[in-house]
Amino acid sequence: MNGTTSTAGAAAAAASSWEDLVTTALLGTDRRPPANGGSGRQAPLALLDEAAVATVRRRAGLRPARVARRPERAPEDPRPVLPAAAARRLATLLADRSGGGTGGRRGSSPDLMELLPQWLAAANAHGYAAPPQALPALLDAARGRTDLRPAALEFAGPRALWLARLNADWRFALRATPGGGAALPDPGDAEAVLRLWQEGLFAERVALLGALRAGTPELARELLASTWSTERAEDRLMFLDSLRTGLSAADEAFLEQALADRSRNVRATAAELLSALPASALAARMAVRAAACVALDRTGDAPAIAVEAPLECDSGMERDGVAATPPAGRGERSWWLGQLVEAAPLGVWRDRLGGRTAREIVALPVTDGWQGELHAAWCRAAVRQRDAEWSRALLGSPSAPEAGGPGAVSLAERAKLLAALEPAERAAWVAGFIATHGLSEAFQLLGVCAVPWAAPLGRAVVDALNIARDAGSYPWSFSGVMGLTERCLEPAEAGRLEALLAIPDEREDAAPGAGGYWAEAFQRLVTTLRLRAEMARELAPVSPSGGAARGGVREHGSQAGRESGGGVPEDTGPRSPQPPAQPPDAAG
């Protein structure tokens, strides 16, 4: 008993001593000298000596743990090996973790971390396997930036999941991968599919439903219907959202039943999906309600649109997804009107408004100040129904004065409408907008344009930047657009930008030193474009003769917003030791 008490007391004394040392280190030896500092010794040295002794004492007091079971071998990655030059480039990109976020002058050097998303997209397009030794750094990068995760995990492949099970810092990879990397049964194996659906974890069931929906949507719907009444409300909402993939008229009966669900969120989602089916019964009901509120007024000198908002939100409207209570600061009647028009098929308005086309309808004046509300609802309907004709009509001409704002359609709504157009048409509209209105309001419009930018759009952006430089503005006023340009401009444009590298003669009214800053910014742009071209050449498959395949590869990426970084740090707490990328006997 005395021995036990003595041991416990020694442990308590050691712990207390360690806490005292930590407190002294935090406060500083000037304010709190070490308790056992020897005579004539410098206090900092005495503190370090005490810390060294205490560390040995703490380690010696730890009991040995059980021997852990040897991990299983890492799975095979059958994809082709990354070319050596591209592997070296990846290591360089991953080593540059600063991300250019110093907030000061950026200089003329490219921001390598911001090029990593494009590199990953191109590598994935070629189907390369990630080098095993790069996996820890790749997972660290994806851990710190959520925007990197989809492409990084696709490139990392099955070994990333194997590593994630060994290191808690990388567990996000298991959460981000449907089913945590578990193999899904073949859709033709009905018994295995049913067993996983009834017995699997939630993530596995979501992955199964998504996989089935992509290939056999009717099977996924039947599976969901078989357990619908027993699912939790939050799970029903997640499962229902999977029906967006392959949504068709065959889903209408199931969605109509979901309109009577106990959960308000489930009912709202079901109504939204039904309204995206213009031939659905819900869409027809909404069309009747919306048409009763909007009519053609012929009493004036010229035709106009008259609006009479609903006087109440009845139970039928609520069942069909209309939220009765408006948000703060919003009138009830305008709130109900917007929801009805948004959910009504756009095809109803041609007959209702005199056989006019979408462009002619949008051009009609709207009485009593209802234009903003009506046009905003039509915008949401065009986006939901992916209607290109109405999107063009609501966008209008990019050179029109109202396109630059405020206008009836906001820039945020225009950005969503642009997404319904083909990439070439989208780029041409934004190029026309920039040529007329400049770059100050163009950032969110550029964010929906395909990468790399089409030639007319790239020229419009560069010309607008050049105009801003000649006006004597500081380049950091356009830093967001310049960053997008570095990542999205076609690399072949680098040669055309040589003339912009010289420091221009500064006007008397220009900001001091602006010319030098602009020359530096354009130098960084040219250097980045050339680096992107080099990256594309390095990733080009090697031909049988030993050289790069002809033509190389165009850079890949769907939207500039996806390429532009801005990742969200997940957590910055203490990190556990990382296992090696290839433990002994685990490679393969």
52: pLDDT confidence band, cut at 50, 70 and 90?
A: confident
Contacts 24+ apart (CB under 8 A), 500-503: 500/462, 500/466, 500/469, 501/526
The SS3 call for residue 313 is coil
Mean pLDDT over 563-587 rounds to 38
User: Which residues on adjacent β-strands are paired with residue 304?
Assistant: 297
490 or 471, which is more confident: 490
Residue 327's contacts (CB-CB under 8 Å, 6 or more residues apart) are 335
- Amino acid 356: pLDDT: 95
Q: Which of 114, 151, 152 is nearest to 134 (CA)?
A: 152
* Structure-block tokens of residue 229: 């009444």
Statement: residue 342 has pLDDT above 70: yes
Least confident residue range of 41-55, 109-123, 166-180, 508-522: 508-522
- Amino acid 565: pLDDT: 38
Percent of the chain with pLDDT over 90: 47
548 or 481, which is more confident: 481
183: pLDDT confidence band, cut at 50, 70 and 90?
A: low
What pLDDT digit, counting tens, does each position of 384-426 carry? 999 999 999 999 999 887 776 666 678 888 999 999 899 999 9
- Amino acid 387: pLDDT: 94
What pLDDT digit, counting tens, does each position of 399-410 carry? 887 776 666 678
Mean pLDDT over 88-96 rounds to 91
Mean pLDDT over 295-313 rounds to 92
DSSP assignment of 148-207 = GHHHHHHHHTHHHHHHHTT-GGGTHHHHHSGGGGPPPPPTT-HHHHHHHHHHS-HHHHHH
295: pLDDT confidence band, cut at 50, 70 and 90?
A: very high
> CA 242: distance to chain centroid?
18
Residue 262's contacts (CB-CB under 8 Å, 6 or more residues apart) are 233
Statement: residue 185 has pLDDT above 90: no
42 or 530, which is more confident: 530
What pLDDT digit, counting tens, does each position of 210-266 carry? 888 888 888 999 999 999 999 998 899 989 988 988 899 999 999 999 999 989 899
- In single-letter form, the type of residue at position 14 comes to A
Is residue 402 within 8 A of residue 396, CB to CB? The reply is yes
Q: Cα torsion for 576, 582, 583, 585, to the nearest 10°?
A: 160
Is residue 130 within 8 A of residue 82, CB to CB? The reply is yes
Statement: residue 176 has pLDDT above 80: no
- Amino acid 577: pLDDT: 38
Is residue 235 within 8 A of residue 202, CB to CB? The reply is yes
C-alpha angle 73/79/82, rounded to 5°? 105
